[in-house]
Structure 1
Amino acid sequence: MSGLELNNVVKRFGDVTVVQQMDLVIEDGEFVVLLGESGCGKSTTLRMIAGLEEVSEGRIAIGGRDVTRAAPMARDIAMVFQNYALYPHMDVGANMSFALRLAGRPRAEIDEKVAAAAKVLNIGHLLARKPKELSGGQRQRVAIGRAIVREPRVFLFDEPLSNLDAKLRGHMRAELALLHERLGKTTVYVTHDQVEAMTLASRIVIFDQGRVQQVGTPSEVFTRPASLFVAGFIGTPTMNFFKARCVEEAGRRLLRGEGFAWEPPAWLAASPPGPEQGLTLGLRPQALHASPGAARLRVKVDVVEYLGTESQIVGHMVTPSGQRVATMLPGKAHALLHHDLDLGFDSEDLHVFDSDSGRSLRR
């Protein structure tokens, strides 16, 4: 039985539709991340699952039970918020046990569950402290502990790491991954941070303007993006894009654009685009490599950012449009600054999109 199902779910605020006919099945024990820019509908979707927003159309089921109109407390979920939402007058133990005490659970059971959650989160030594005496990371652990003790069917996380500094975010990502491994609970996690999505998710649901653009594993959305939006949103640095058309020259099919003519990937032969179809080609910076004397792409280097084990290079093609191109090269590369750089790539690393619809031509 699946952990969570959304069938034709729509959310409107007045005349504005913020979530458009969403269908999603999350299997029991999956860690699914809802990813997108601010205002794309991901948090609204989470709030509908939690029962904090009413569904305009459609159905939500948890563990096979229809909860579309059920109150939040009747949905067997626990939610962790961005701002921790701890009671400032209660110590850590009281915060974690509050829902159990409210439900009238026996004292021995409450103590046992709080102690077990505190051990998992390594906060046993903090149980007598008030929230004001804790760091941001400790407060977030307490908020997660409060959810754990309820033993819900589904965990909901609403951008839980966005208030933490970069180093602590990295640490807490690892903690959340370990926690999910131990508990095996169905988890829905909202974020705008693609690093969190790529490192935590079993599958990622990518939103844009209230519509789901792609659902897939981190590897799938990175290597086979379904649209220009997904291709540009996933990956750092962002994917390079080039306008082109498919042409026949001397009996060869080529993808021709300003300053280049490239062989198409083999998969495109199954359904080649017509000569009038506008194409957008995509190349990840990581797919480009230095290729002296055998350039498929030549750029003049404008910026070199040394990152330790590698350097991020930003340059421009010597063409009328001065197309910007980014690549990643190993080691230190400051010697390339203001010089020409020959770049090569494997044709199979090319992504091909229809310029009008934005959809990938790869089936």
Structure 2
Amino acid sequence: MSGLELRQVVKRFGATTVVEHLDLRIDEGEFVVLLGESGCGKSTTLRMIAGLESVTEGQIHIAGRDVTRVAPAKRDIAMVFQNYALYPHMDVAQNLSFALRLAGRSDSDIETLVNAAAKTLNIEKLLSRKPRELSGGQRQRVAIGRAIVREPEVFLFDEPLSNLDAKLRGHMRAELALLHERLGKTTVYVTHDQVEAMTLASRIVIFDKGRIQQIGTPAEVFSKPANLFVASFIGTPTMNLIPARVEVHDGALTLAGTGFQFHVPAARLQTALEAGRDITLGLRPQALQLTGGAHSLRLIVDVVEYLGTESVLVGRLATDPRVRLTVVAPGDCHALAHQTVGIGFDPQALHLFDTATTQRLGH
């Protein structure tokens, strides 16, 4: 059986714990993205999988084999680094073949594997060039090609697109997705860029402070964030979070905040909502419309960001200016800064979180 498994993995640097009791199973052929802010433990986790960092506690298994104390070269993995790590004095063909020569592969095998990788990545015409003669995107292709020729069990990517400009990042994302589809290899990819995560991943593993906050498909982590951290991290613009309390009015449960009161949506009546409980309401900016209605709020507009097909309104809740709100509206909405506008939403779009525990309420 192929794939990758981390069992109760801990990493400490002195008295500082940077990865805490990490359990993660990645099936054969999955493309799993480790996503989080800088310093959350995702790159350290990748380096432990690669064997570049030792494991303080726990075990790492690749293809059913315990590799926790195995040297990096014997783990059957290939890693693509952020800075490409190409040998400047070697041409592209020599960079691609270097690991194969170290492994004692025959000249005919090396030629076949290098040519196949070059064809896959469309760099056949670059084989005689040195890294300094290549663009950033071409260097990244060579770095990926160097991993491909080794035919590893697992591919590891450490922020491979972060040095590229926005247009080239988008192009390379598409190429990586097609490459994974063709090769079908188990892939672990580290990034802080949620667009990369959402567009590439079979599943996303969201990290914060050395702990996994949620594991799920892109659709799951976006539509059903497990807690307030995930809710505020996933999505652009980020989710609006509004403090409220569960109250009873006329025998019915309501969600009440400063200057507003909503009935609990019928779909949420089975959720454990008792009167007096402090909760946080979550609303995606895309779920808000410039309209009134039974479920409506008033927004004092501070800034209007016109983006062509849409406008992003940033402002404050009129009844509680401490609460910041963002609305994604049509580009021709004609809203102006310093206006007060009504905004409405479908009650089914509400996300509910327990304020004390930060955990999601209901399904």
**TM value normalised by structure 2:** 0.97
Deviation at 1:295, TM superposition (A): 5.8
Superposition deviation, residue 320 in structure 1: 4.3
Deviations 1:23-54 (A, max 9, x none): 11101000000000011000000001000111
Q: For residue 141 of structure 1, what is the aligned residue in structure 2?
A: 141
The answer as to 2:83 corresponding to 1:83 is yes
Structure 2 CA distance, aligned partners of 1:325 and 1:94? 54
Aligned partners of 1:343, 1:321: CA distance in 2, in Å? 15
The equivalences for 1:4-23 within 5 A come to 4-23=4-23
Tell me how far apart the structure 2 counterparts of residues 244 and 169 of structure 1 sit (CA, whole Å).
40
Instruction: State how far apart, in whole Å, the 2-side matches of 1:143 and 1:246 are.
Output: 55
Write out per-residue CA displacement over residues 340-360 of structure 1, whole angstroms, 9 at most, x where no aligned residue. Answer: 221111112111111111111
Kept in 1, the 8 Å contact 2:2–2:153? The answer is no
| Corresponding position of 2:105 | 105
- Counterpart of 1:185 in structure 2 is 185
CA deviations on 1:305-353 (whole Å, 9 max, x unpaired) are 1112111111222224342210111223344433222111111211111
**CA 1:15–1:267: 2 relative to 1, 3 Å:** farther
Cα offsets for 1:215-273 (capped at 9, x unmatched): 00000000000010000000000110111111110122110011211122334321332
CA deviation map 1:167-213 (0-9, x unaligned): 11111111101110111100000000001000000000000000000
1:254 corresponds in structure 2 to: 254
Please tell me whether the aligned partners of residues 253 and 275 of structure 2 are also in contact (alpha carbons under 8 angstroms). Answer: no
After the TM superposition, which residues 228-243 of structure 1 pair with which residues of structure 2 at under 5 Å, given as runs?
228-243=228-243
* Number of residue pairs aligned between Structure 1 and Structure 2: 363
One-letter amino acid matched to 1:182: R
- Cα shift at 1:86: 0.3
Q: Output the CA distance in 1 between the equivalents of 2:15 and 2:53.
A: 16
1:196-215 to structure 2, matched below 5 A, reads 196-215=196-215
Q: Where does residue 155 of structure 2 map in the other structure?
A: 155
DSSP 3-state at the match of 1:190: strand
- Kindly provide the amino acid, as one letter, of the partner of residue 23 in structure 1: D
Give the structure 2 partner of residue 357 of structure 1.
357
In structure 2, what is the equivalent of residue 283 of structure 1?
A: 283
For 2:297, the aligned partner's letter is L
Is the Cα–Cα contact under 8 Å of residues 295 and 346 in structure 2 kept in the other structure?
Answer: no
Following TM superposition, by how much is the alpha carbon of 1:294 offset from its aligned partner in structure 2, in angstroms? 5.6
Alpha-carbon offset, residue 292 of structure 1: 4.2
Tell me if the contact between 1:304 and 1:333 (Cα under 8 Å) persists in the aligned partners: no
Unaligned runs of 5+ residues in structure 2 are none
1:315 partner SS:
strand
Maintained 8 Å contact 1:35/1:193 = yes
Secondary structure at 2:253 match in 1: strand
Letter in 1 for 2:323: Q
Give the match for residue 41 of structure 1.
Answer: 41
Counterpart check, 1:53 vs 2:90 = no
Contact residue 267 and residue 362 of structure 1 kept, 8 A: no
Q: Contact 1:295 / 1:342 at 8 angstroms: preserved in 2? A: no
Residue 285 of structure 1 deviates from its aligned partner by 0.2
Distance change in 2, residues 1:62/1:127 (3 Å) = same
Conserved 8 A contact 1:2-1:26: no
Q: For residues 4-29 of structure 1, what are the alpha-carbon distances to aligned partners after superposition, in whole Å with 9 as ceiling and x for unaligned? A: 00111111111111101011110100
Q: CA deviation at 1:297?
A: 1.1
Match of 1:69 in 2: 69
Give 1:125-136 correspondences, 5 Å limit: 125-136=125-136
- Measured in 1, the distance between the counterparts of 2:324 and 2:17 equals 36
The 4+ residue runs of structure 1 with deviation greater than 4 A are: 292-295
Q: TM-score, normalised by structure 1?
A: 0.97
Q: Please give the alpha-carbon distance, in whole angstroms, between the structure 1 residues aligned to 2:2 and 2:11.
A: 23
How large is the Cα RMSD of the aligned pairs? 1.3
The Cα shift of 1:87 comes to 0.2
Q: In the alignment, which residue of structure 2 is the partner of 1:301?
A: 301
- Structure 1: 5+ residue stretches without partners: none
Q: Return the letter of the residue paired with 1:12.
A: R
Q: Which amino acid aligns with 1:359?
A: Q
Q: Structure 1: how far apart are the matches of 2:295 and 2:263? A: 13
Q: Which residue of 1 aligns with 2:223?
A: 223
